[in-house]
Amino acid sequence: MLEVTGLSAGYGPVRALRDVSFSVEPQTITAVLGANGAGKTTLLRALSGLIGVSSGSVALRGDDITSLATEDIARLGVAHVPEGGGVIRELTVDENLRLGGLIAGAGESERDVVLALFRPLQERLGLPASTLSGGERQMLALGRALMARPTLLLLDEPSLGLAPRVVVQMMAVLRRLRDERGMTVLLVEQKAEGALAVADRAVVLRVGEVMADEPAEALQGADPKLRHAYLGY
């Protein structure tokens, strides 16, 4: 589904990603883990064309998308949910969802599919997004992304700031999306526990480089010292 080869990117003199290579199989969840500043957000930005890359390539289903504009990458079925969700607080839940569907021309039927996944949103359709709890806002962010009928979801720390119970619910939704809708997910998380519980594979970044690229269960069962070195806990 996604092939990242020798990717380097940064901000002026700051090289945030160095020679990053990994691949993502279709209909899998790949966790991208690493401490603060490891380059996780930069990786998602580079994949969705929000920042330019200095070298390397990104292929989506075999096609080179490295230098495509963000909107063209989105049209190819890549949805990026930034840290914090990026929902528009002044708009209602319904308006946020409809905005998400614009790019794909999605209508009522897609909205119904999304609302079936996130039942609490159904009761709050007419309310401004600012009135939602943190967990509901993350659901809305994910729901809005799904309205574009993506095949690849790029999620930046969806569990940030959420109660453990809500994190479990969020991960269960990701599992359903993979198993029932054949979605491929790249899941950036700083806290590894929840992500490893649902991921098939894990790529660990450290200061912009790939430290490990392994089946998720290999990291789940890893020696505590190794986990500490890789993941900082």
Which pair of tokens denotes residue 106?
A: 């999605």
Nearer to ligand ATP, 43 or 68 (CB): 43
Which residue type is seen at 116? A
Nearer to ligand ATP, 42 or 48 (CB): 42
Paired sense of beta strands 29-33 and 201-206, if any? parallel
Smallest separation, CB 180 to ligand ATP (Å): 29
Which pair of tokens denotes residue 55?
A: 């070298």
Q: Alpha-carbon distance 109 to 93, whole Å? A: 16
Which pair of tokens denotes residue 185?
A: 């997910």
Smallest separation, CB 160 to ligand ATP (Å): 9
Nearer to ligand ATP, 124 or 206 (CB): 206
Cβ within 8 Å of residue 178, ≥6 positions away = 27, 28, 29, 184, 185
Nearer to ligand ATP, 16 or 222 (CB): 16
Smallest separation, CB 143 to ligand ATP (Å): 23
Nearer to ligand ATP, 84 or 120 (CB): 84
Q: What residues line the site for ligand ATP (CB under 6 A)?
A: 11, 14, 16, 34, 36-42, 190
Smallest separation, CB 145 to ligand ATP (Å): 18
Which residue type is seen at 6? G
Q: Alpha-carbon distance 2 to 11, whole Å? A: 24
Gyration radius from the chain CA atoms: 17
Smallest separation, CB 70 to ligand ATP (Å): 16
